[in-house]
Amino acid sequence: MLGVQVGWIDFSPEERSRTLTVLRALSAPGSVDELGIGIVRDAVADALFPGTSTLLTKARYFFLVPYLSRLLEEGHDAIPRDARDLKHEFDDLERRCAVGLCKRAADLGITDEGVIGRVALTRGPGQWVTRGPGEVYWASIRTLGFMKDDAPDSYLGHFAYLANRRTVTYGGQFDGSDTVGLSDDKHASRSMWNLPRTLFESWREDWDDWGSRASIELTTEEAALLGGRIKTQRPGSLYALIVGDDRLRGLALGSWRAEGGGYADSAFHSFLEQERGRIEELSPEAARLCALADDFSELVYGCRIAYNMQLPGLEEEAADEWEAFAESEEIERAVAVDLDALSWELGLSDHSGYSMLAAFLRRSMACMATGDLEGLKHEVRQREAEIKGTRKKIGCGSEVEYAWRGGRRLPYRFGYAMSIVDEIVRAGGCDA
């Protein structure tokens, strides 16, 4: 068998970054999207739980990334430096951060789960991840208002900003004096980061002795600020309602913990069944989107059953699930999904792939409404062939028996959001 060497040919750093983001996202639970419904799924998740991602691990990175960036931001250069040099320096800071976090966890006899780069560190001196916390968290940090409006849009663009920032004049010609720095309020006011300086100064003391004072856990002040940002940056979102309401928060965390604190799809729907009334009371807009999202999830579930029914080794399991689904009230919700309202709520009408997806979904709904299982299976086969081509699984002639593909109902990142909320609560950032 010939070996194949994989490399990057004529890609810009931004293109390479986006590709790596996609590849890593594909390893997340429930991320397999054989029918191309991710257009709607991700838009719903962004609306319900803004600032979340399947790539995020621990809540404190919302602060560690700005803190590390600010260390570079408050440095000074008499001669402008190349942005790539600052990127390498930031990588070194992130690596030092991970080393300290892993060492501290080992000293305390606790797990270092959630520390980005912990596996890479075991590969030898100087080893580091391709994508560090800054790149992973950048979009979420911006969404939750941790950056000022004029901050760079992209993670890599941030280093060009830093290169300029470190040589810019502050009310006069820079003279190389060491007196301008961490205590300079005028300097701090021009930071790109929208964070209280007191938090940075407190962390800066820990950073001086990071080996023995490192922590991946939120401080109480950080937890309160993160919870506040979720509420104020996206006040109409379900995320904000859960963080801000004792009852919703308790039941949401209860549903999540009942599933083992993971990312199982049933926790979100269990929570909605209990709390539709409370959500409606707090925000009719959020309640409307939740109802649309829940019904859409049932439609997708029916399609996924029909998909898995056509894979070797899953025929019997999927047939049993279809029988139960077809006799339940959930199928009635699936065939009544208001796709026009969903598209309007999420602004999907101009998305390049939405029209074809909507057409497939409407045909699938018609099949479900009439009990035409063979017709639904045909629609699913056609849809997979359209979007997967030669990579399709149905009818590919493989004799491999598959495990269930694509998940069942859509959790819309509920588990990822609840892991953040749980950290906020445990750090004392909420009133519960």
Return the structure tokens found at 356: 């074809």
Stretch (H or E) spanning 67:
helix 61-73
Q: Left (φ > 0), alpha (ψ -120 to 50) or beta: where does 285 sit?
A: alpha
Look at residues 36, 43, 38, 41 and name the one whose alpha carbon lies nearest to residue 380. Answer: 36
Structural domain boundaries in the chain: 33-56+225-425, 61-169+179-217
pLDDT, residue 335, reads 97
Share above pLDDT 70 across residues of the chain, in percent, rounded to a whole number? 87
pLDDT digits (tens, 9 = 90+) for 220-236: 999 999 999 999 999 99
Share above pLDDT 90 across residues of the chain, in percent, rounded to a whole number? 74
Average the pLDDT over 45-59 and give the result. Answer: 96
Listed range (29-43, 60-74, 103-117, 301-315) with the worst mean pLDDT: 29-43
CA–CA distances in Å: residue 127 to residues 20, 94, 121, 268, 399: 18, 12, 6, 38, 40
How far apart CA 107 and CA 173 sit, in angstroms, is 47
pLDDT, residue 430, reads 83
How far apart CA 20 and CA 7 sit, in angstroms, is 12
Kindly tell me if the per-residue pLDDT of 180 is higher than 90: no
Given a contact cutoff of 8 angstroms between Cβ atoms, the answer to whether 408 and 298 are in contact is no
CA–CA distances in Å: residue 144 to residues 150, 203, 312: 15, 20, 44
Return the structure tokens found at 235: 């006040």
pTM of the full structure: 0.87
pLDDT, residue 125, reads 85
Tell me the average pLDDT of the chain: 87
How far apart CA 357 and CA 371 sit, in angstroms, is 21
pLDDT digits (tens, 9 = 90+) for 247-302: 999 999 999 998 887 776 788 998 999 899 999 999 999 999 999 999 999 999 99
Listed range (27-36, 61-70, 84-93) with the worst mean pLDDT: 27-36
Q: Left (φ > 0), alpha (ψ -120 to 50) or beta: where does 124 sit?
A: left
pLDDT, residue 23, reads 43
Average the pLDDT over 170-198 and give the result. Answer: 56
DSSP string, 331-352: HHHHTT--HHHHHHHHT-TT-T
Cβ-based neighbour number of residue 363 at 10 Å: 16
pLDDT digits (tens, 9 = 90+) for 150-169: 899 999 999 999 998 888 75
Given a contact cutoff of 8 angstroms between Cβ atoms, the answer to whether 330 and 301 are in contact is yes
Given a contact cutoff of 8 angstroms between Cβ atoms, the answer to whether 349 and 300 are in contact is no
DSSP string, 389-422: GGG--TTS---PPPPP-S-SS--TTHHHHHHHHH
How far apart CA 330 and CA 420 sit, in angstroms, is 30
Segments in 166-245 forming alpha helices (H): 185-189, 197-207, 210-213, 220-233, 238-244
Band the pLDDT of 352: cuts 50, 70, 90.
confident
pLDDT digits (tens, 9 = 90+) for 369-395: 999 999 999 999 999 999 999 999 998
Kindly tell me if the per-residue pLDDT of 12 is higher than 50: no
Band the pLDDT of 189: cuts 50, 70, 90.
low
Look at residues 382, 301, 380, 398 and name the one whose alpha carbon lies nearest to residue 30. Answer: 301
